[in-house]
Amino acid sequence: MELYTETSYAIGKFITKRYSTSFSASSRLFASRIRPHIYAIYGLVRIADEVVDTYGGSDKEQILRELQQEVVTALRRGYSTNPVVEAFTLTAIQYKIDASLLEPFFKSMMMDLQPITYTDKLYKDYIYGSAEVIGLMCLRVFCHGDERLYRNLEKGARALGSAYQKVNFLRDMASDYRDLGRVYFPHVTFEGFNDQDKQRIIVGIEKDLTIAKRAVRDLPMGSRRAVEMSVVYYEALLRKLKLTPAKVLQQRRIRINNAHKLMLFAASLKRKLSHVS
């Protein structure tokens, strides 16, 4: 079992590194006890995303429901023959990640199976399930069983997940619409999207970040630097989005190039080493 456990967590790490250079870079700043569990959470989230975003079959809903049931069964049994689910299961059992977080996540993934015209409520529900609960799963790991700390930081973790998701929506607006037929923002059409719409969305993101950053300061040291690094990255991306006209966002995905990512990571690592010394 030890070899299978190690292999399962290693697969989560591999998926993280292959799919997200920015997230995998910031993850290096987590304490060693935390890293495998964050990779495990990311691994499960990523394969669910793959079902709804890239799989072309007509049985997407069935496959997603089967994945959800596989996770539920694994949590009850304490074991899965799927290494990605196995790693997540071990982490979820250890840190009490339960159905209250899993069900909203899969509900949001189901919402992605067909284009939706988002109302304010649907938008709020989608962001909660697709992003805020991921922040709460990670917070479970960060707090390491400290329920009081978890409750104190819960609002901030949700706000951070919300901010990141909204930034992603702006960044990916062109490809989401062109490739998947999606526009997530309520009261917005792709064709009518303008700079006033963009500014309104950015104001909401900045409110989320203000709430989130107050909580980040109170995270345990083993997770704080990595989360701070992710905030630095998303704030840099947000600044770039602010300077990008709405009509450009309708045409292409906005990126932080690898050289800039490396600079941000190096600056965060320097601050970490300075703090240690």
Average the pLDDT over 116-124 and give the result: 97
pLDDT of residue 132 exceeding 50, the answer is yes
Tell me what pLDDT residue 99 has.
Answer: 95
Tell me what pLDDT residue 79 has.
Answer: 98
Tell me what pLDDT residue 258 has.
Answer: 67
pLDDT of residue 277 exceeding 50, the answer is no
Tell me what pLDDT residue 28 has.
Answer: 87
pLDDT in tens, 148-205: 999 999 999 999 999 999 999 999 999 999 999 999 999 999 999 999 999 999 999 9
- Tell me the domains of the chain and their CATH numbers: 2-276 (1.10.600.10)
Which of the four pLDDT bands, split at 50, 70 and 90, describes residue 20? confident
HEC assignment per residue over the chain: CHHHHHHHHHHHHHHHHHHCHHHHHHHCCCCCCCHHHHHHHHHHHHHHHHHHHCCCCCCHHHHHHHHHHHHHHHHHHCCCCCHHHHHHHHHHHHHCCCHHHHHHHHHHHHHCCCCCCCCHHHHHHHHHHHHHHHHHHHHHHHHCCCHHHHHHHHHHHHHHHHHHHHHHHHHCHHHHHHHHCCCCCCCCCCCCCCHHHHHHHHHHHHHHHHHHHHHHCCCCHHHHHHHHHHHHHHHHHHHHHHCCCHHHHCCCCCCCCHHHHHHHHHHHHHHHHHHHC
Tell me what pLDDT residue 262 has.
Answer: 64
pTM of the model: 0.93
Higher pLDDT, 255 or 241: 241
Which of the four pLDDT bands, split at 50, 70 and 90, describes residue 244? very high
Tell me what pLDDT residue 268 has.
Answer: 61
